[in-house]
Homo-oligomer: A and B are copies of this chain.
């Protein structure tokens, strides 16, 4: 298990358990063996739009990590970097660190906006005939193809070992079927998912 600096108190997380972006934070905490106080936030009830929530994150999104009474950190992948800083989950080597970030930015720009949004439309909004799904499916498959190519050559996304880049991409990929994506055509992705699942602390995301 990687060795982070021990926190004085359990980390306080505001998140939605069935959100992949929030599940990332749960995974990092569990893999690092860090205690956590989880405050469940219901997106569909508008709980990310209250004045209290917007004071923590003006962008109105979960997850949020509370650092101290007046300090909050938003953006799931930035939270991963914060939690993993100094541990083996975020490589110390300059290039390996940047390659991990490369895949985390890929996740937020090319992967999540297609695969997570398709899942949200199907699983949360129950709109299986939404006209946006065709384009989201095309973009999601393109992202999976990029992953497949990389994972055909390397066991993990950066530094040759399990890192926060894998946690970031595992979150929505292991539930891609809920967005209408069939992983049968992506054997390298499926092998990598199995390697991620074998890491101590890695769990499946709860269903919506």
Interface of A toward B, CB cutoff 8 Å:
58-59, 67, 71, 73-79, 81-82, 85-86, 94-95, 97-99, 101-102, 104-106, 108-110, 112-113, 145-146, 149-150
B75 & A95 in contact (Cβ 8 Å cutoff):
no
- Which of B82, B101, B113, B150 sits near A75, CB closer than 8 Å? B101
A101 & B78 in contact (Cβ 8 Å cutoff):
yes
B146 & A59 in contact (Cβ 8 Å cutoff):
yes
B67 & A110 in contact (Cβ 8 Å cutoff):
no
User: Which B residues are in CB contact (< 8 Å) with A113?
Assistant: 109, 113
User: Which B residues are in CB contact (< 8 Å) with A71?
Assistant: 95
A-B contact sample (8 more), CB < 8 A, given A74-B106, A81-B98: A73-B102, A77-B105, A82-B97, A85-B97, A105-B108, A108-B108, A108-B109, A109-B113
B94 & A58 in contact (Cβ 8 Å cutoff):
no
B73 & A98 in contact (Cβ 8 Å cutoff):
yes
Closest to A77 in B: B105
B149 & A58 in contact (Cβ 8 Å cutoff):
yes
Closest to A86 in B: B94
Q: Which 7 A-B pairs have the closest CB atoms?
A: A82-B98, A78-B102, A75-B105, A78-B101, A75-B102, A58-B146, A85-B94
User: Which B residues are in CB contact (< 8 Å) with A105?
Assistant: 75-78, 104-105, 108
CA distance A77 to B58 in the complex (A): 22
User: Which B residues are in CB contact (< 8 Å) with A145?
Assistant: 58
A82 & B106 in contact (Cβ 8 Å cutoff):
no
